[in-house]
Amino acid sequence: MSQGNIDVPVQAVEVDPEKLDVCTVLEVINRISGKWAIGILLEATRGPVRFTELERSVEGISRRMLTLTLRNLERDGLLVRTVYPTVPPRVEYEATPMAKELYQSLNGLLGWAERHRDEIAAARVVYDAQAG
């Protein structure tokens, strides 16, 4: 489903290639490596997830930062927001195919961090002892 109330028809938007801003690789990396984006994307790739579920699962995130990060990920085409016409409205976020592809790389990064976290912690102790 698409964003907005499901009773409202979605209109196709034609994109003029000349009006596209060039999105640099660095901009893409900065967006997905932000403090909260990875946690949100990992949750959303498991299936549709509600705002409050994200708020509970992404430790330390404020409601405002969650809202801003969700909007940015939706804007970048990594999440789809679906609003269901219930009272109160139910909103779900789901990873797009592009985000699901990214998930494979994030899993690799998480695996690397898990394998090397003890070495990194030890290196920090040595560095701090020498610097202090």
Query: What percentage of the chain reaches a pLDDT higher than 90?
Result: 64
* Domains of the chain with CATH codes: 17-100 (1.10.10.10)
Contact of 63 with 55, CB cutoff 8 Å: yes
Per residue in 78-95, pLDDT (tens digit) is 999 999 999 999 999 999
> In whole angstroms, what is the distance from residue 130 CA to residue 114 CA?
26
State in Å, rounded, how far the first CA of the chain is from the last one.
56
> In whole angstroms, what is the distance from residue 85 CA to residue 2 CA?
13
Residue whose tokens read 């939706």: 74
> In whole angstroms, what is the distance from residue 103 CA to residue 29 CA?
14
Per residue in 43-63, pLDDT (tens digit) is 999 999 999 999 999 999 999
